Structure 1
């Protein structure tokens, strides 16, 4: 990407975001506890076409924050190719996670948290806002989803 390139239109940006969700394996997950203490970690994920599925232990800060706060901000890329996703979180124990979600996660990552430890949980993150930009020239029009609906 060069700053002299024309900004992508919303249709192209959405297509690029969806392609990224299909090919990336790691996502930065930002959460906060009840007191506002932030936590940022990278986690594996699987995209099912509507939600991102994450897994981590309920005994660590990220797991507790996802469960208790029910919100997260997810981020991909560097400062030259940013995707930010704000989402609402649902927590599932190993026994309660939908089979299709667990299978997709296992296939995508090569790891099945259900077989690892009872302290692992799955987290469904439903996007409510999505932003994407490549450099300052793409800041206008960066909002691709608001209130859970694509704006394009």
Structure 2
């Protein structure tokens, strides 16, 4: 779920994705397919069901149709705050693909 500033993910802390997100504090998300790509690098903060902001939990529920707060204690919330963002659709867009660097949006 994208709230306009951060990406919110929910998964079990015991699976490889959850363990890596919690342990490293940074991640790269790859969205789209090979011809329409978004690469988002970001800082990760981990939350329990009780700690996650209500607005994030409700937005996630509305977007996905799943109330993750009812999923049980094995699940954790992960906020990914973007630091670098690249996006492109096929080779002609490669020169202008960097949209954010060090948390600052690119000009233009």
Q: Does 1:126 align with 2:67?
A: no
SS in 2 for 1:139: helix
1:3-152 alignment to 2 at 5 Å?
Answer: 46-152=1-107
CA deviation digits over 1:32-56, x for unaligned, max 9?
xxxxxxxxxxxxxx11110000000
Could you tell which deviates more after superposition, 132-141 or 91-100? 132-141
Match of 1:8 in 2: none
Shift of 1:62: 0.7
> Normalization by structure 1: what TM-score?
0.68
SS in 2 for 1:62: helix
Query: Unaligned stretches of 5+ in structure 1?
Result: 1-45
Query: Unaligned stretches of 5+ in structure 2?
Result: none
SS in 1 for 2:20: helix
Query: 1:126, 1:106 → 2: CA distance?
Result: 19
How many residue pairs were aligned?
A: 107
Query: 4+ runs of 1 displaced by more than 4 Å?
Result: none
Shift of 1:107: 0.8
Q: CA RMSD in A?
A: 0.8
SS in 2 for 1:111: coil
Shift of 1:131: 0.4
